[in-house]
């Protein structure tokens, strides 16, 4: 996960080698996969259902831009985008880009036989990417902070007698086990909370 312009870009896999920087996007989808190089979205057809998803070639292009921005001092690097689907998918994609099945990944990488990156550059880039990688811990902290914020919002709404689920009024009711607050819109809204 790299930071770019205050946002984060999450890359599935990066292979730093003497033959180029391979940027790999993996998709574990089943069914027919239809799409082309430039369209906004691709389509998965499974059990007669159609689901759209963001064109992974474009998604991976974004990942390469994120890498380039973070590795600006190496202007000559050759980046190789590869989109990998599991063998459960049935690829019907119209493109010359590398959109392959997982079993072909190693073969695809090995087709690049020209050394374009020196041993020293390779080690440097590898170390730099490791250092730039946003560790899960930080992201988890942000995520947890988000959850705490949500809990605080709910507490505020409840103390103001506003139902956090539907925005209706909360009224105090007597229950078997003591008083509780319930939504006035019951039974449409079943939000309750004990005092
Ligand atoms: Zn409610």
CB 173 within 8 A of CB 179: yes
- State pLDDT tens for residues 26-42: 999 999 999 999 999 99
- pLDDT for 77 equals 94
Taking the C-alpha atoms of residue 37 and residue 59, their distance in angstroms, rounded to an integer, is 11
C-alpha of residue 156 to centroid of ligand 1, in Å? 15
- Which residues, in sequence order, are bridge partners of residue 192? 182
- State pLDDT tens for residues 77-92: 999 999 999 999 999 9
**47 pLDDT higher than 90:** no
- pLDDT for 92 equals 95
**143 pLDDT higher than 60:** no
65 Cβ neighbours under 8 A, 6+ residues apart: 4
C-alpha of residue 119 to centroid of ligand 1, in Å? 63
C-alpha of residue 21 to centroid of ligand 1, in Å? 53
- State pLDDT tens for residues 84-119: 999 999 999 999 999 999 999 999 999 999 999 999
Q: For the residues 18-25, what does the mean pLDDT come to? A: 97
C-alpha of residue 181 to centroid of ligand 1, in Å? 10
- Which residues, in sequence order, are bridge partners of residue 83? 25, 99
C-alpha of residue 23 to centroid of ligand 1, in Å? 47
Look up the pTM and report it: 0.69
């Amino acid at each position: 996960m790299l930071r770019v312009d205050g946002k984060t870009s999450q890359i599935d896999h990066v292979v730093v080698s003497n033959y180029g920087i391979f940027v790999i996007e993996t998709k574990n989808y089943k069914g027919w996969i239809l799409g082309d190089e430039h369209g906004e979205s691709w389509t998965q057809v499974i059990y007669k259902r159609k689901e759209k998803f963001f064109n992974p070639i474009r998604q991976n292009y974004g990942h390469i831009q994120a890498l380039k921005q973070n590795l600006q001092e190496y202007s000559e690097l050759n980046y190789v985008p590869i989109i990998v689907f599991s063998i459960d998918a049935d690829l019907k994609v119209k493109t010359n880009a590398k959109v392959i099945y997982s079993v072909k990944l190693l073969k695809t990488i090995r087709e690049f036989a020209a050394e374009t990156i020196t041993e020293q550059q390779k080690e440097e880039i590898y170390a730099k990417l490791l250092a730039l990688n946003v560790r899960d811990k930080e992201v988890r902290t942000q995520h947890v902070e988000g959850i705490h914020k949500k809990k605080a919002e709910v507490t505020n709404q409840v103390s103001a007698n506003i139902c956090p689920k539907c925005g209706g009024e909360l009224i105090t009711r007597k229950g078997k086990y003591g008083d509780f607050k319930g939504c006035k819109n019951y039974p449409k809204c079943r939000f309750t909370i004990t005092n």
